[in-house]
Amino acid sequence: MLRARKRFPVIVLMFIIGLFFGMFITYSLSNRPVDIGENQVLLLADRDYFEGIHSLLSEARSSIHMVMFDIKYYPDYPESLVNSLLSDLENAAARGVEVRIITDEYLTEKPVVRILKESGIDIKFDSGEVTTHSKLIIIDSKIVILGSTNWSYHSIEKNHEANVVIHSSSFARQFEGYFERIWMES
């Protein structure tokens, strides 16, 4: 009986150490790309979205095609993360990257459309007969970002959101076809 009492604290301590070790391993591996065949897939969840998208937009060389339900601009908060992503699009266009955006007229405000157009970005509202609820970015016809994050303060800085970055030219070609179809209908 005495031996069992001496073992109990050791067992509890080992359990707690194991729990923390498991949490550490899970957290440290959660934001690493996963290889699926020749393709890489990366999760961008919650606050990881901004840094991941910011980096990918900054590295774009030929094209950024985007379908986004809601795009906001915050003139009273020039340092907002959403405004930074809008600047990334403007900078890409200034580098000669083709930037085309389809958004929904219901939520996206006119000032953001004007600002993007003045930067040389082609932007269209979807057909008024449908709601474009997609959140899709295709970069250089080889990277697809697909998920739940709108370009708004709450989506980027407050909400739980989940997105995947897929490095696959063949997958990107399928989404380019989807983008072109919506572009022609808009």
Residues noted as catalytic: 133, 135, 140
Cα gap 78→104, rounded to integer Å: 23
Please give the torsion angle defined by the CA atoms of residues 50, 51, 53 and 55, in that order, rounded to the nearest 10 degrees. 150
The CA–CA distances, whole Å, from 76 to 73, 79, 83, 89, 91 equal 9, 9, 10, 20, 21
Chain mean position to CA 25: 24
**How many contiguous H segments (helices) and E segments (strands) does the chain have?**
6, 8
Cα gap 31→43, rounded to integer Å: 6
Cα gap 24→80, rounded to integer Å: 31
For every residue of 93-142, which 3-state class applies, written as one string? HHCCCEEEEEECCCCCCHHHHHHHHHCCCEEEECCCCCCCCCEEEEECCC
